[in-house]
Amino acid sequence: MGIDRRGNRHAPGLCHVKLSDLASIVGPRKQPVMRDRYVQPVPLLAEYLRLAEENGSITD
């Protein structure tokens, strides 16, 4: 799962993210997207979702 801000950055939505989609992304220095195995997201994605639903950013 990921947060999709493509449509409207002020109204993000949850979306499924395929690893193949991430693999196709190349940065400005031609570096691929890399996985950080040690990242500890704070707050968790579920908390971002709860807050967005609470303030009306996500309605469905």
pLDDT of residue 21: 85
Query: What's the pTM value of the predicted model, to 2 decimals?
Result: 0.40
Task: Tell me what pLDDT residue 45 has.
Answer: 78
Question: What per-residue confidence (pLDDT) applies to 8?
Answer: 60
Q: Which amino acid makes up residue 50?
A: R
Region for residue 53 given its phi and psi (left: phi exceeds 0; alpha: psi -120 to 50; beta: otherwise): alpha
**Domain ranges within the chain, ordered by starting residue:** 2-54
- Residues composing the chain: 60
Q: Which pLDDT score, from 0 to 100, does residue 3 have?
A: 65
Q: What is the chain's pLDDT, residue by residue, as a tens digit (60 residues)?
A: 666 666 665 666 667 778 888 888 898 899 988 888 898 877 777 888 888 888 887 765
